[in-house]
Amino acid sequence: MYPNKTVALSGVSLHIAPKEFVTIVGSSGAGKSTLIRLLIKEELPTSGKIIVGSIDYDTIDKANIPHLRRRIGVVFQDFKLLPNLTVYENVAFALEVSGVKTSEIKRAVPKILQLVGLSEKGNVYPSEISGGEKQRVAIARALVRNPKILIADEPTGNLDPKNSWDIIELLLKINKFGTTVLLTTHNKEIVNALKKRVITINRGRVVKDEKVGRYVL
C-alpha cells in the first residue's frame, strides 16, 4: 500500500526459481512496477515477505542494500545512461561506484561489451548510438557486476520491432548463461513467441501464472 492508501499489490505469492525466464504482463497501473520496486527494495511492503536468494528482506539492514542491488541488475525502458560518459565509461561506472579495482574494470568491461555486441562502440557517447544499442549498453551495465537476477522493465518500450527482438534474443542468451531473467512487457507478439512462463497481474493481483503462457489481457 502506498502512503496515499492505494493498494498496488495484494495477495501476491510467487516463487521464481534460479535461472528461470519469467515474463510479467499487465495493463498500465496493474502493479508491475511496484513489484519490481519491492524486489529492489525501493519500496517496502505493508505486509508480507520477500526473499531473494538467501536474503530475507525483513532482516537486511541499510548497509546490506548495496549488496542486494548488486545481486539484481535492472534495465528500464528509457535506458538511463549517463550522457556525458562514453559507452565504455557508462559500463565501467557501475563497477567504480562499488569500489572495484581499475585492473579488474579493464578486464571486465571489454568482455561484457563483447557479450552485448558493442565491442566497436566503447568510445562513443550515448547520443551517437541507436535506441537498440543504448539498451545494450544498459544491459551491459546491469550485467557487469554479475547479478544473479536481471530485471528488464519494458526494455523494448522505446524500440522498433527489429531492435526489440534483438534485445529479447540478448536476454535469452543471458538467461542461457545462467542468469534469472524477469521481463515486463506490453508486447503481445514477443510474449506469445517466447513460450516462457507468463505471470499476469491485474489490479494488483496475480490472475494467471502459466508455464508456457500467452498474453491475454
| 29: contact with ligand ADP by CB under 6 A | yes
The widest CA-to-CA distance across the chain, in whole angstroms, is 49
Nearer to ligand ADP, 76 or 88 (CB): 76
Q: Which residue, 26 or 73, has its beta carbon nearer to ligand ADP?
A: 26
Is 199 near ligand ADP (CB under 6 A)? no
Count of residues near ligand ADP by CB under 6 A = 12
> Given the complex with ligand ADP, which of 6 and 46 has the nearer CB atom?
6
**Is residue 112 a contact point for ligand ADP (CB under 6 A)?**
no
Closer to ligand ADP by Cβ: residue 90 or 184? 184
Per-residue string for binding with ligand ADP, 129-168, x by CB under 6 A? Answer: ----------------------------------------
- At 184, which amino acid appears? T
Among 13, 28, 54, 103, binds ligand ADP (CB under 6 A): 28
Stretch that binds ligand ADP, among 26-34, 55-63, 103-111, 206-214 (CB under 6 A): 26-34
Among 22, 30, 159, 174, binds ligand ADP (CB under 6 A): 30
**Minimum separation from the CB atom of position 186 to ligand ADP (A):** 10
Count of C-beta atoms within a 10 Å radius of residue 27:
12
- Which one, 135 or 185, has the nearer CB to ligand ADP? 185
Structural contact between residues 137 and 128, judged by C-beta atoms closer than 8 angstroms: no
Distance of CA 121 to the CA centre of its chain: 22
Closest alpha carbon to 14 in 3, 22, 6: 22
> Closest CB to ligand ADP among 26 and 213?
26
Q: Are 183 and 23 in contact (CB under 8 A)?
A: yes
> Taking the CB of residue 2, how many other CB atoms lie within 10 A of it?
10
**Distance, CA of 31 to CA of 33 (rounded, Å):** 6
Per CB under 6 A, does 42 bind ligand ADP?
no
Footprint of ligand ADP (CB under 6 A):
2, 4, 6, 8, 26, 28-34
